[in-house]
Amino acid sequence: MRRISCLSLAILAALSTTAIANSTEQESASEQAVERILVQGDFRKLELQKLPGSILVLSQQDISRQNAQHLEDLLQQAANVNFSAGASRGRFLQIRGIGERSEFVDSINPSVGVLIDGIDYSALGVSSLADVQQVEIFRGPEATRFGANAMAGMLNLTSNDPSFAGEGQLAATLANYDSYQLSGAYSNAINQQWAYRLAADHQSSDGFIENSFLKRDDTNHIDETTARAALRYLATADLTLDFIGHYRDIHNGYDAFSLDRNRTTLSDNPGQDEQQSRALALKADYQGLSWANLYTQLSGLTADTDYGFDEDWSYEGIHPDGYATTDRYLRARDQWSLEQRFLGKAQADWVAGWYASGQQTELERQFWNWDLWQAAQFFSDFKRQNLALFGEWTSDLGDGWSLTSGARAERYEDKYSDSNGITQHNNELMWGGKLSLSLAVTDSASLYLLGSRGYKAGGVNGEALGKAQGSGSEDLADYLNSKANFSPETLWNAEFGVKASSADQRIVSRVALFAMWRDEMQVNSWVTRDQSFVGFIDNAASGRNQGVELESRLQLMDSWTLFANAAWLDSEIRGFVTEEGVDKTGRDQAHAPNYQYSVSSEWLLTSNLSFNLGLQSKAAFYYSDSHDARSEQMHLVNLRLQYQWDELQLALWSRNALDQDYGVRGFYFGNDPRDGYEPHTYEQLGEPRRIGVSAVYQF
């Protein structure tokens, strides 16, 4: 009954919105312009309301309304989007219950990718929102457009472009926990052909942890600097070139897990979560061909990361049976990509192109080897090359009907080697695509049916193979050797959606109903022996995810607007048995809450003063596919009082105003010698009550 009720309500809301859009369009003699939000990540930058698929677009106003400083602050308001931390920030993303939750020894294949200005930042988990123009969240398989990193979806962030008129912005924020943020941006023309934009941002905070052993309150601190430079060159009337550079310097602490399961830690060697990355991109937009426009992007990125933690979460001498070790992962990542696509002109609504990329990740792990009972190092080298061909065609069937078909064929090749003498070479040909049928009911209302297929690569479990060599246990070695490789995963998606708005734009609504089937579902699994554990990726037989997503904006009065995003999700694991012989078939997938919603109300109290009240809620969810530890339900209240005086904006705000504890990463095992290593659910908690004041000056 519950499933039927949720589906019925969603369908009713969708059809009601369409009816309202139809009637108001007939009634309004002086229509306002229909809302035109362009999806920058789409091949042709189509309007959001006309693009088949479930896509959430968040503007600079949405970012301000949420008081968001970092990407993880913004994701709480997105329906069917979740994240996990296990680091100083939320790093790993899940859409519709699908996505990775950690990365230790073996390199992961993201189910949800992240692009910033077209540069691939997947699994790096970084993004200040300073000078970001738009955040787009594609939900569901997007293989035709983005390939293997978008099996479950994609986050696409677009920064502000250079302008040929002088403009700038300065911003400052002060908040509790000794937090501050300073940012600025400026853009102007050099001459009639050249324009530039410079932006920089720095964030600092002591973090939300008290380390009682070290008597410090900054062991989980934030220290992040980001900068961006962009040049636009109008080379000819038909050719525009964009040069983009990114720089990120992150020196965060990592001391988040407590043996007492609160915000007070006992670590004597707090960890770190550091990153220095540099990226360059060249974009070329050529419109001089008679039959097509040609778009090209060449990108390169190098990132050095240093991630480590105190394994025992305590200090030497806490208990006679205690231990004291650390674990550290130093990664050097180099990557490049080249994409070129042709977009048909005139009546030919088609796209065709190719994509190539290469990535190398070198790992140095410094850890305690429990088999040899000594400090040890581990080195690995992982290389991957991808080559893809893609195309998309839209046919006008008449009477408002259109049919879009797209496909992508992608070949990848992996080479893996490590200091244990293990070498692996894998290659695979994968394919994905989509077929959608759309009906434009009116200029401001449309329906669509969508079928799509996504994929992501398989790989090697290097840590498991290394552990098998030195385990000293024949049974364990045999088990780990059987997990040497994992297969590619595919995802099938069927979706029905409605997008509508009233003619006066007082009502805007989007509803999507979906059902997805996962084949060779990749799941994280663990083998625990004493204080050490081995992680690897396994394949379950299949998985199923189905649900509803709703986004709406309702302007009740000129001075009062309601915003609502909501989702219902039902997920299931099928055919997965843990090492202990526990069959997880029928259980919810990890980090897949059954419901989420974000509701906010904005009042314009005077012409200069506004107030926003928001509520965000998320159901409890499992932290892992291999154990049954769960989070608690989350209910957050956010407040913002804003005053606008000409070009100066002042705001007093609070996130999580009621100070609720909620988990963003969880494990289940024994790590406390004081209770004989009894297993517990250990959680990393999200941010507590934040109170701050912000000022923005635009010129």
**pLDDT the model gives residue 370:** 84
Lowest mean pLDDT of 289-298, 335-344, 481-490, 648-657, name the range. Answer: 481-490
3-state helix, strand, coil in the chain (%, to 5): 10, 55, 35
pLDDT value at 178 more than 80: yes
pLDDT value at 23 more than 70: no
State the pLDDT confidence band at 32, using cuts at 50, 70 and 90: very low
Does an H or E element contain 476, and which? helix 474-481
Give residue-wise pLDDT tens across range 74-106.
999 999 999 999 999 998 999 999 999 999 988
pLDDT value at 586 more than 50: yes
Give residue-wise pLDDT tens across range 427-457.
999 999 999 999 999 988 999 999 999 999 9
The predicted model gives 285-300 an average pLDDT of: 97
At the fourth CATH level, the homologous superfamily of domain 2-698 is TonB-dependent receptor, beta-barrel domain (2.40.170.20)
Residue 241: strand, helix, or coil: strand
The amino acid present at 631, given as its one-letter code, is: S
Nearest Cα residue to 60 out of 183, 149, 240? 183
User: How many Cα atoms occupy the beta-carbon half-sphere of 446 within 13 Å?
Assistant: 22
Block residue for tokens 């939300």: 208
DSSP 8-state code for residue 218: -
In this structure, how many other beta carbons lie within 10 angstroms of the beta carbon of residue 265?
A: 25
The amino acid present at 143, given as its one-letter code, is: A
Q: Using CA atoms, how far apart are residues 251 and 222, in angstroms rounded to an integer?
A: 7
Q: Using CA atoms, how far apart are residues 637 and 314, in angstroms rounded to an integer?
A: 33
The predicted model gives 280-304 an average pLDDT of: 98
DSSP 8-state code for residue 64: H
Q: How do strand 222-234 and strand 194-205 relate by DSSP bridges?
A: antiparallel
Give residue-wise pLDDT tens across range 380-418.
999 999 999 999 999 999 999 999 999 999 999 999 999
**pLDDT the model gives residue 27:** 43
In this structure, how many other beta carbons lie within 10 angstroms of the beta carbon of residue 288?
A: 10
Q: Are 70 and 203 in contact (CB under 8 A)?
A: yes
The predicted model gives 592-616 an average pLDDT of: 97
Residue 178: strand, helix, or coil: coil
**Strands in 575-621 per DSSP E:** 595-604, 609-618
Q: Using CA atoms, how far apart are residues 113 and 359, in angstroms rounded to an integer?
A: 15
Block residue for tokens 């509790």: 176
323 or 484, higher pLDDT: 323
Q: Positive or negative, the Cα torsion across 667, 673, 674, 677? A: positive
Between the CA of residue 559 and those of 459, 562, 602, 640, what are the distances in Å?
Answer: 54, 10, 8, 16
Helix pair 474-481, 462-469: axis angle to 10 deg: 160
Does an H or E element contain 351, and which? strand 350-369
- DSSP output for 612-625: EEEEEEE---BS-S
Q: Are 583 and 557 in contact (CB under 8 A)?
A: no
pLDDT value at 470 more than 80: no
Q: How many residues does the chain have?
A: 699
SS3 annotation, 493-541? EEEEEEEEECCCCCEEEEEEEEEEEEECCEEEEEEEECCEEEEEEEECC
Between the CA of residue 499 and those of 16, 52, 357, 447, 637, what are the distances in Å?
Answer: 11, 9, 35, 6, 28
Q: What is the CA radius of gyration of the chain?
A: 25
Q: Using CA atoms, how far apart are residues 523 and 572, in angstroms rounded to an integer?
A: 12
Where are the domains positioned within the chain? 2-698
